[in-house]
Amino acid sequence: MSSEWRARATLAFLVACFYAGVVLINNSLLCSWAVDSGASYRYWIYPPAGVRLALILLLGWQGLLGYFIAVLALIASGVFPELDSLEYALVIGAGSTLSIWAALLIYGWITGVKTPWERLTSWHLPAIALFVSGLNAALVCLLKVWLGVELLEDLARNASLTVLGDTLGTIIVLAILIRLRKAYKRSVQAEQSEAV
């Protein structure tokens, strides 16, 4: 294995660890914001969705691979008790990862904004958050119905709540990251102007 591939694999592993940590922290801090939905639950605001999208937008396939590994690890470790088998982990992990990848490809095709996402404007962020969240929620909720984890009668409610929580969490996280980036750019510009 070349050093470049080793570095990329390490990055994907670090993304997996980071994302899994964000989900665990979210679950321990924000469980009171969860909406009871039988065996499963949904968050009104789900910041890990924003972290997930930011990592994927910034790191591309390493972010996607890291997310997939994190989902497998989280399900295997029992973080989502309703998903209690390797089959569930693989189906939900692959479905979620592929739906996000497909949503980003379709969004880029529709808008003309593609990787490396440098042409994203402020109006793109809520649109991409809603589009990715919508496609991901629809597919994951359908897969849970197919696996027998959730009821078909609850599909619309579960998907709607997932879209709401993921979209709000994504918008909040991306807004914070944009503010931090702008503050960093201002500080660099201030240092450069002082040096001159």
Q: Is the pLDDT of residue 173 over 60?
A: yes
The mean per-residue pLDDT over the stretch 178-196 comes to: 84
Number of other CB atoms surrounding residue 27 within 10 Å: 16
- The residues, any chain, with a CB within 8 Å of residue 172's CB and separated by 6 or more, are 45, 47, 50
Q: How confident is the model at residue 192 (pLDDT cuts 50, 70, 90)?
A: confident
Residue 45: what pLDDT?
85
The mean per-residue pLDDT over the stretch 11-29 comes to: 90
Please determine, looking at this structure, whether the domain spanning 3-189 carries the CATH number 1.10.1760. yes
Least confident of 81-85, 95-99, 148-152: 81-85
Residue 34: what pLDDT?
54
Average pLDDT, the chain: 86
Q: Is the pLDDT of residue 119 over 80?
A: no
Q: How far apart are CA 43 and CA 156, in angstroms?
A: 15
Residue 87 buriedness (CB in 10 A; 0-12 / 13-18 / 19+): exposed
Q: Is the pLDDT of residue 6 over 60?
A: yes
Number of other CB atoms surrounding residue 161 within 10 Å: 22
* Segment holding 98, helix H or strand E: helix 86-111
Residue 169: what pLDDT?
92
